[in-house]
Structure 1
Amino acid sequence: MTTPTPALMIQGTCSNAGKSTLVAGLCRALVRRGLKVAPFKSQNMSNNAAVTADGGEIGRAQAVQARAARLPPSVHMNPVLLKPETDTGAQMIVQGQRFGRLGAKNFLDKKAALMPHVLDSFARVARDADIVLIEGAGSPAEINLRAGDIANMGFAIAAQVPVVIAGDIERGGVIASLAGTHLVLDGDERAMVRGYLINKFRGDVRLFDQGLTAITDLTGWPSLGVVPWLPQAALLPAEDAVDLDRARASSSTRVIAVPMLARIANFDDLDPLGMEPGVKLVFVPPGQPIPAEASVVIIPGSKSTLGDLAFLRAQGWDIDIAAHVRRGGHLLGLCGGYQMLGRSIADPDGIDGAAGTVQGLGLLDIETIMQGDKSTTLVSGTHCATGAPVEGYEIHLGRSHGADCARPVVTIGDRPDGAISPGGRVQGTYLHGLFTNDTFRKAWLAGLGIASELAYDQQVEAALDALADHLETHLDVDRMIAIARSRHSTNQSAA
């Protein structure tokens, strides 16, 4: 009988409890101990996707966790990815590839059928690892979603993986959250839980000693530690739009403004700009005007270009953007934002919404046609204006063409990408990840009169190392490894 690969699952009392960050930090901590560690999340919901070398899509958090583990991202690290397109529907990616579009009710009915794909991917990830660190989704306390669950206890039981529950003390009520989670789990689910931890604590952790005692008395679960708030964690790429308020404070007067589209996607494109001391990156919430003092407006990527174009107009941002351009301001569209800048967007087959053609913002002389073949590719090339090298990825439906495409933003091999207006102040490109390249970002900012000395990759690596140090200090990592290794006995007892 083959001994199962050690594995540990971090579930949470709620969404945004810090599960992604905890797994990333533990990945870096364990790889520094000499273990070959791999991250895994069976089901994720995010419009911040990463592209893998084989042309698939996974959630951004798993790409960051793979980086923390010093592994290339794989589609099997996140076999089911839901990308919301409306309030009740999402595009579903299975093992990296577009699987279709489902409404919320359809997904609930069909999710159990995805378990074989999930277990297949988990087996592939575990095959080459010394230990697998698994991130849950949402909370196991959402027992209304228990039937057919593939994301929390349903997966833990199917794969026989022990669980640690993370409680988010920042939101308050963490004792009740953990005790309530224990209460609503059924017996088989409780048997998978081997301990709990407290995350995002502010202040003297000794003040929570009685709280730990109370939680253990109420649940029978041992405490594995209390993790204080770590500011450096905000330097890691965020996955959820709820994290956009984490932008670093800046005293700079050089404002780069980003309208927060309803289906904003791949907004981690802008993380490096948010770290620049000479830049004040402002995410403009719905209902607020785009600041008139902005030097640059960036229209970000979108999971629903046509829907977000309508949303942009409903906020009056189209008027603000037109005024910004008239004042001589710079405007950059990324992917879906690039498509919005053109004269029209045609969707004859209803791929992005209702079939038809809509008028774009008319600030670039291009037209876009939505097509069913999706481009998901890692690319490298050259910035045409400065000769700076660029690296990134494409992840989009649709193709754009027109007179302004004669002035591309970048070349990818022999292929031009993007378009620039005759005056050069309005630009658009399909390429995500441009700003992670220090040479390109420095050249681009220099064109705006902004000096840059930021070494972005070094900052991210330093943040991952700081996070690993932090968790080693405040968690019983040795015990967590022992729990992961106990999976062998868990499987034997289940046999």
Structure 2
Amino acid sequence: MDQRLKPIMFVGTCSDAGKSVINAAFCRIFQQDGYWPAPFKAQNMSLNSYSTPEGGEMGRAQVVQAEACGITPHTDMNPVLLKPTHDKSSQVILNGRPIGNMSAQEYFRDEIGKEELFGEVTAAFQRLDARFNPIVLEGAGSISELNLRDRDITNMRMAIATGASTYLIADIDRGGVFGSVYGTIALLRPEEKARVKGIIINKFRGDIAIFAEGRAMIQELTGIPVVGIIPYFRDIKIEEEDSVALEMKTNTYKEGKINVAIVLLKRMSNFTDFDVLETDPRFNAYYTHDTDEVEKADIVILPGSKNTLADLQGIRANGMAEAIVKAYKNGKKVIGICGGYQMLGMRLEDPLGLEGNIPAVPGLGLLPLITTIENEKITTQSHFTFLPSTRENHCEGYEIHMGRSRLIDGATAHPLVRLTDGREEGFYLDAHCWGSYMHGILDNPAVLDHLAEGFEQKENNTSFDYKAFKNEQYDKLATLVRRNVDMDYIYNSLL
């Protein structure tokens, strides 16, 4: 549409209130209504990241929202990404490129640097705003963290700087919704409160009509209307990057399915690689650090890690490393992706101490590889053929890693994929063991079908189109939100 809308922003009373999912819903709603929306989150903290076509790195939440908009992700949508390396420090990604590791104290106490950073994120917003309409912004955590407010580059400072009509999301399923909403609004400065145009109650269970009195009470307490009550849902699958979501994913073995045990690492990254296994009806995926659950599985997957050497030491200590090798010897399929691919090799080396103070660790010894952690980070999107010698297919994925893997002396290359530029990547040991740096590799039907081979006795053994499935979910989410918010009010607030 030609009509120009103000930016809209969704902020929260707490972490995991549902901001990312509601943001995605509005991205799809605006796209359906003929606008050209784009998502924006100034600063994200997550180990789930993505490589853009230009080779920049950004958070997965804004990738999901870009998909809902029907546009290609770009680092301007998430100019600052913090990737925790351990409990007290993070790698800082600015405009898609790593600029170093910083402790929380260094990052939040550097006043001059924070002003420069705010200039960078507002410039990214302005570049987006010149190309799209409207910009759909997302805040981070709670907007009432008083100790961080003066150094904020993500929440109300961004709302004021962009002139965004702002909506507060509250999670009623946690309980205490009146206190959390009232307290959040009460702690805002007058200029911040002026930006908040409405409140959306999220994750409501039961009959929404019974909350009519509560709705009126919240408006009386805060002076701000409740413009929507979103029902709690389980039948719409939207990728979530928050580690809280990962805690909800752990389950266990199921009869009649191809059971996939994903090894639960302390510093796991890109667990969204496995969302497809939760939606393809052939598979039952579960996250575990229990050796018994690995023994029961048909397939074992070692995922990526932000600190591969430390996580490899961790799975040796808890017995998982031995269980994984035993699983392969017993005829199970064992797959490694990114850091998990490195772990399947003979040795991992970190001579520069980039991941910590561990110089080298023996691998699981299933693949004839040695990996060295190096300074330069590879971030690239790729188009490739899976198992190029045996099948024609067109696949997509992306790489984000600082390790370089090479064959041990005397080993013969058995590439898993051939890229469109002729390069080869990954190692295919046999039908029961392979590894690759490619994130998103399982999203490709050819790869999923290969994973399912040998389990024809299982139910629902048919191909699954994950891209089509995700698109259907965005439409279902948009329909649900439309039905339960006052869209006329929201559109009027954007004029």
Report the TM-score range of the alignment, normalised by the length of the smaller protein: over 0.9
- The reply to whether residue 418 of structure 1 matches residue 440 of structure 2 is no
Which amino acid is the alignment partner of residue 272 of structure 2?
A: D
CA RMSD of aligned residues (A): 1.9
**Contact 1:276-1:452 at 8 Å conserved across structures:** no
Q: 1:415 to 1:324 in 2, by over 3 A?
A: same
- The alpha-carbon deviation at position 97 of structure 1 amounts to 0.9
Partner of 2:470: 460
* Partner of residue 239 from structure 1, selected from 241, 249, 252: 241
Kindly indicate whether residue 451 of structure 2 is the aligned counterpart of residue 444 of structure 1.
yes
Which of 256, 267, 271 is the aligned partner of 2:271? 267
Q: Deviations over 1:278-326 (max 9, x none)?
A: 2111111x46644311111000111111122122223221121122122
Instruction: Read off the aligned partner of 2:21 and give its amino acid letter.
Output: T
Aligned match for 1:311, one of 307, 311, 314 = 314
The CA deviation string for residues 82-130 of structure 1, in whole angstroms up to 9 with x for no partner, is: 1111111111111111111111111112334310011000001111122
Report the counterpart of residue 489 of structure 1 in structure 2. Answer: none
Question: Partners in 1 of 2:280 and 2:251 — Cα distance?
Answer: 9
Q: Does the 8 A contact of 1:259 with 1:290 survive in 2?
A: no
Matched, 1:476 2:462: no
One-letter amino acid of the counterpart of residue 163, structure 1 = T
Residue among 160, 168, 172 paired with 2:171: 168
1:206-217 correspondence to structure 2 within 5 Å: 206-217=209-220
Q: Deviations over 1:244-270 (max 9, x none)?
A: 324799653421100111111111111
Q: Which moved more, 1:440-449 or 1:240-249?
A: 240-249
Deviation at 1:383, TM superposition (A): 1.2
Deviations 1:188-242 (A, max 9, x none): 2212211111011110001111111111111111111101112233x22221232
When the two structures are superposed, what TM-score results if normalisation uses the length of structure 2?
0.93
Q: Aligned partners of 1:254 and 1:71: how far apart in 2?
A: 34
| CA deviation string 1:318-365 (max 9, x = no partner) | 121122122121110000000011111111111222262221122211
Pick the aligned partner of 2:373 from 365, 370, 375: 370
Equivalent of residue 328 in structure 2, options 320, 325, 328: 325
| Preserved contact between residue 251 and residue 287 of structure 2 (Cα < 8 Å) | no
Q: How does 1:127-166 map to 2 (within 5 A)?
A: 127-166=130-169
Give runs of aligned pairs for residues 4-403 of structure 1, distance below 5 A: 6-110=6-110, 111-233=114-236, 235-244=237-246, 245-246=248-249, 251-284=255-288, 286=289, 289-354=292-357, 356-384=359-387, 385-403=390-408
Greater CA drift, 269-278 or 295-304: 269-278
The one-letter code of the counterpart of 1:256 is V
Q: Could you tell me whether the CA contact under 8 Å between 1:140 and 1:153 is conserved in 2?
A: yes
Q: Secondary structure at the match of 2:494?
A: helix
Q: Distance in 1 between matches of 2:395 and 2:100?
A: 32
Give the match for residue 437 of structure 2.
Answer: 430
Q: Which whole-Å CA distance do the structure 1 matches of 2:346 and 2:360 have between them?
A: 10
* 3-state DSSP of counterpart to 1:373: strand
The letter for the 1-side match of 2:150 is: A
1:68 counterpart SS class: helix
Question: After alignment, is 359-368 or 397-406 more displaced?
Answer: 397-406
Change in 2 beyond 3 A, CA 1:246/1:229: farther
**Conserved 8 A contact 1:297-1:332:** yes
Quote how far apart the aligned CAs of 1:424 are. Answer: 4.5
Q: Displacement of 1:55 after TM fit?
A: 0.6
Cα separation, 1, equivalents of 2:204 and 2:412: 51
Unaligned residue ranges in structure 1 (runs of 5+): 486-495
One-letter code aligned to 2:350: D
TM-superposed CA distance for 1:405, in Å, is 6.0
1:409 alignment counterpart: 416
Distance change in 2, residues 1:399/1:405 (3 Å) = farther
The 3 A distance-change label for structure 1 pair 287 and 87 is farther
TM-score (norm 1): 0.93
Unaligned runs of 5+ in 2: none
| Cα shift at 1:50 | 1.4
Contact kept, 8 Å, 2:258 with 2:455, in 1: the verdict is no
Output the CA distance in 2 between the equivalents of 1:301 and 1:139: 29
SS at match of 1:255: strand
Give the Å deviation of 1:145: 1.1
Out of 398-407 and 196-205, give the one that drifted further.
398-407
Residues 224 and 288 of structure 1, relative CA distance in 2, 3 Å threshold: farther
Using the alignment, how far apart are the partners of 2:242 and 2:256 within structure 1? 26
CA 1:323–1:248 in structure 2 vs 1: closer, same or farther (change >3 Å)?
closer
The letter for the 1-side match of 2:413 is A
**Distance (whole Å) between structure 2 residues aligned to residue 6 and residue 479 of structure 1:** 14
Q: Matched residue of 1:398: which SS?
A: strand
Q: 1:438 to 1:420 in 2, by over 3 A?
A: closer
Matches of 1:362 and 1:253 in 2, distance apart? 29
1:388 shift after superposition: 3.2
Matched residue pairs, number?
A: 480
Whole-angstrom CA distance in 2 between matches of 1:463 and 1:4: 27
Specify whether residues 132 and 251 from structure 1 end up closer, same or farther in structure 2 by C-alpha distance, changes over 3 A only: farther
One-letter amino acid of the counterpart of residue 44, structure 1: N
Deviation readout 1:442-462 (Å, 9 max, x if unpaired): 233224446233221111111
SS at 2:294 equivalent: coil
- One-letter amino acid matched to 1:231: R
Secondary structure of 2:151's aligned partner: coil
Q: Which amino acid aligns with 1:453?
A: S
| C-alpha separation in 1, matches of 2:314 and 2:149 | 34
